[in-house]
Structure 1
């Protein structure tokens, strides 16, 4: 088996779905630059995803003297049938000395090739509840009744999922629901940016915090036997699937058409905070030092961004959209340190014209 595949599988010792929750589910955006579209385009399609070629959002401009960083806000989910028009982004990347990826987290087991190979069987069943418990025993009765209805609607008569932990069942339901509503989790934006950087021979810098797991077998064993308070995550996900998919579709359309005003007006986090807390507050996470990895990854990104702004004449970067729009986000932190920030529509530019790459 390919060593890279083994490494990727071995690093899933805490479960791919849980890792996805902490890193990006459902975080902000993932796509690009261009002119703003009218609000009516999105409003009229709030229950239907846009399709065909779309410009994506404009780029934020962060500068220090003559040094400029153009930042693309990323989002999840995005319209599945959208074709992202990347002409402006490609031109910006081609003129940059560096492309900086968003904050990311990696789990790395401290073991050799054969150790990874023999670790894989222990991952089987990691999604299941400890002691063979079922969803019905772990979540409130009203939530379980709602689950049965939504499960039938989006998943079908899958009996195996009834043995999963609530957080994993929530991930599965959410993924199936957004797919049914014409959306996709990634939209391929980060992969497209990485490909464009490679095409133009521009260095791609990964702002990644790597958590080294000293005893991966013990970590898997601890995870599989440890309880997790993920009932709120489960309930909030049910809420999202029941009544918020229209708003999530509207948000995805706003990203696709470049409607920054509408993006500002729509909440970004959905059930994400409750699901992140379920992971980071669990006993196994604290044992592994997993509770503050998001902050550490953000710190690595900030250091890389400041170095790029000090070194490069021009840099292209990606950040979750919430980090661009939030008054407590990473861009706000750069602004507080004296960097100039201009939004694509000029709304943060203190009267200046909208930024153009």
Structure 2
């Protein structure tokens, strides 16, 4: 996280830390484990594909004028050793008049390198419980017992993390567990799309909702004093780490080899909403306009897709697979707007 602050990126201060758990799980994952399985860690080493793989096909969205929006469904995490053969995507971008970025939302604090350094101590403090409680003091005993087992397995003897808020600790555990089983957060999709777009004189147009933070120092002060209802986020993240890693690997493999049917069957929401809600429904989140930010992001993406279809003969976009295939998701809403939507083979 210190590297992000030094780079002066949007999430350089403590809200990035607080949203770390949600950021790690931003592509929704798996349902919670059944209660009777709690504490029983599934110790299976998932088998991940590696080397060059084709990835999935693309959805085609067509309007009455014959304009086409090509949508690549994305998944995170993916196998760390995956080499994506993206010839079809490069060909579509070569013929496109516009490239749309993936939907979502971001916080923009607009801090530079040196200002980021001055904010770092406050950011680190804001990742801690505002009442100075440790995880042992903050969590129910049964949940803390599960945490101890998983922490030892994936993180080791890190005493500092015991002082973090549950949401922050959950994010660190999730990231460490993914690394241990060979899943990575760095997707090849953004790099390929950026390079292909640049080669044809295009720059991806952001579809994300931006929450501007004009006063990062004051925002840090607010966050430090804000209590979060983040135990459910912590619990659901532990469920995924205990029981869901093999299925996460299965989903990553399905994307790598282009198995759309498998991706649809694995498109189940998990800890993401619980982790985002912990911040969005807090006093800080309500004050800063985070309460309905997911709904805002969804509407903005849909409107920009419609505008792009009207303007361009060919448009390329990326959208999380889950957001495309779940009932009432982007595919259904595009059909409701009168577009023809063709599912990839």
Could you say whether these structures have the same fold, taking a TM-score greater than 0.5 normalized by the shorter chain as the test? yes
**Structure 1: how far apart are the matches of 2:10 and 2:243?**
37
- 2:190 aligned with 1:190: yes
Corresponding residue SS for 1:106 = strand
- 2:155 aligned with 1:155: yes
Corresponding residue SS for 1:8 = coil
User: Structure 1 pair 114/249, CA: closer, same or farther in 2 (3 Å)?
Assistant: closer
Residue 200 of structure 1 aligns with which residue? 200
User: Structure 1 pair 112/320, CA: closer, same or farther in 2 (3 Å)?
Assistant: closer
Residue 355 of structure 1 aligns with which residue? none
- What per-residue deviation string (whole Å, max 9, x for no partner) do you get for residues 283-329 of structure 1? 11111111122222222212211111001000110001111111221
CA contact (8 A) 1:46 1:247 kept: no
Corresponding residue SS for 2:8 = helix
Residue 100 of structure 1 aligns with which residue? 100
Pairwise CA RMSD of aligned residues?
2.4
CA contact (8 A) 1:22 1:294 kept: no
User: Structure 1 pair 70/9, CA: closer, same or farther in 2 (3 Å)?
Assistant: closer
Query: How far did 1:10 drift?
Result: 6.2
Residue 71 of structure 1 aligns with which residue? 71
Alignment of structure 1 residues 44-193 onto 2, 5 Å:
47-65=46-64, 66-109=66-109, 118-193=118-193
**Structure 2: how far apart are the matches of 1:73 and 1:138?**
38
CA contact (8 A) 2:21 2:169 kept: no
**Structure 2: how far apart are the matches of 1:116 and 1:142?**
38
User: Structure 1 pair 159/176, CA: closer, same or farther in 2 (3 Å)?
Assistant: same
Residue 223 of structure 1 aligns with which residue? 223
Query: How far did 1:118 drift?
Result: 4.2
Corresponding residue SS for 2:83 = strand
- What per-residue deviation string (whole Å, max 9, x for no partner) do you get for residues 231-251 of structure 1? 111111111111111111101
User: Structure 1 pair 266/112, CA: closer, same or farther in 2 (3 Å)?
Assistant: closer
CA contact (8 A) 2:10 2:106 kept: no
CA contact (8 A) 2:75 2:320 kept: yes
Query: How far did 1:268 drift?
Result: 3.2
Corresponding residue SS for 1:204 = coil
Query: How far did 1:20 drift?
Result: 5.0
Residue 232 of structure 1 aligns with which residue? 232
Residue 243 of structure 1 aligns with which residue? 243
**Structure 2: how far apart are the matches of 1:315 and 1:10?**
27
**Structure 1: how far apart are the matches of 2:182 and 2:101?**
26
CA contact (8 A) 1:26 1:269 kept: no
Query: How far did 1:23 drift?
Result: 5.8
**Structure 2 stretches of 5 or more lacking a match?**
30-43
CA contact (8 A) 2:134 2:163 kept: yes
Corresponding residue SS for 2:251 = helix
| TM-score after normalising by structure 2 | 0.88
**Structure 2: how far apart are the matches of 1:9 and 1:266?**
32
**Structure 1 stretches of 5 or more lacking a match?**
30-44, 346-357
**Structure 2: how far apart are the matches of 1:301 and 1:215?**
27
- What per-residue deviation string (whole Å, max 9, x for no partner) do you get for residues 99-131 of structure 1? 101113232337899866644442232211112
CA contact (8 A) 1:94 1:202 kept: no
